[in-house]
Amino acid sequence: MSRINGFVGRRNFLKFASVVGIAATTFGDSFWNTEQTAVADIHPVNPNSISPNEAIKQLLDGNQRFIDQKRQYPDQSLEHLRSVAKAQYPFAAILGCADSRVPAEIVFDQGLGDLFVVRVAGNVVSDTVIGSLEYSTAVLGSQLIMVLGHRRCGAVAEAIKNEPLPGRIGLIIEGIKPSVERIKFRTGDNMQDAVIANIQYQTEKLQESSTILAKLLGEGKLKIVGACYDIDTGKVNIIT
C-alpha cells in the first residue's frame, strides 16, 4: 500500500477495508487467518506517537487544567492550524456522547489535531463507529481509545425507562439496553450504575467486534479504556 507522510493513503485504506469485507463474506473463517497479516501492514509509524498510558496522563492533566480554570489552549495557533492541514497525528481517539455539554477538546484542554473524536448519543458502538476508530488507530496511529460517557446521560435514562420512542431514536437506545440489564437487580443509584455499565459494555463491544482493533490490542499497540465525565464538576474519572 502507498503511504503519504508515513501513513497509508486514505483511498488505499478504504479499498483494503472493502476487500476485507468482500473476502470475509466469500471465504468465511479461513479468510481471517490471512487478514491478520494484512492488518499488521496498515499500522503506520506516527512521528508524534505517545504510549497509551502517557496519552491517558495527557488527557487527565488537561482535564485538571479545565477544572482549575487554568487552560493552556494548546495547539490552537494559526501556525499549528497550518501544520496539521498537511497531516494529522492525533495522540488519542475519543468515543464520546453527542451531548452538547461534553465537548472533548474543551474538557481535556486539547487543540487542533490532538484528538480524533467520534460522538454519538449514548456513546453507542455501531459499525460506523468501529470503522471510524479503526481508521484512527490503523491509519492515523492513535494508540489510545477512550470511551467517554457522562453522568445523567439522557440516552441511558431512556434505556432505563424502556418505552417506545419515535423515529430512529429507538435504534440508539437498543444499543444501550444490554448494559441496563446488567444492573437490573442492583440497589442504589440505578442511573449512575447504568451509565457506568454502559461505558463498560461499549468498551467491551469495541474490543470484541473488530478484528483490526483486537490485533492492535494483542500486539500492545493499542489500549481501550472507559471514562466518565461529571457534568456538574467537569471531572473525568477512568472506569476500571
Whether 38 shows a pLDDT value over 70: the answer reads no
User: Pairing relation of β-strands 144-150 and 92-96?
Assistant: parallel
* C-alpha distances in Å from residue 203, one per residue of 20, 145, 149, 240: 23, 9, 11, 11
CA nearest neighbour of 145 among 93, 107, 98: 93
Q: What is the pTM (predicted TM-score) of this model? A: 0.81
* Distance, CA of 206 to CA of 176 (rounded, Å): 14
pLDDT(181) > 80: yes
| pLDDT beyond 60 at 11 | no
Whether pLDDT at 230 is above 60: yes
DSSP class of residue 122 equals: G
Does the structure show a pLDDT above 70 at 42?
no
Cell 437498543 belongs to which residue?
Answer: 174
- Check residue 44 and give its pLDDT: 55
Query: What are the boundaries of each domain within the chain?
Result: 1-42, 48-239
What is the mean pLDDT of the segment spanning 19-42?
A: 43
Which of 64, 166, 168, 75 minimizes the C-alpha distance to 120? 168
Could you tell me the CATH superfamily of domain 48-239?
A: Carbonic anhydrase (3.40.1050.10)
Asked if the model's pLDDT at residue 21 lies above 80, the reply is no
Span 13-21, average pLDDT: 49
Compute the chain's Rg from CA coordinates: 19
Average pLDDT over residues 71-91: 93
The mean-pLDDT minimum among 29-33, 149-153, 157-161, 164-168 falls in 29-33
Phi then psi dihedrals of residue 225, to 5 deg = -130, 155
DSSP state for residue 36 in the 8-state scheme: H
- Chain segment 107-162, per-residue pLDDT in tens: 999 999 999 999 999 999 999 999 999 999 999 999 999 999 999 999 999 999 99
Q: Give the residues across from 223 on adjacent strands.
A: 144
pLDDT at 29: 46
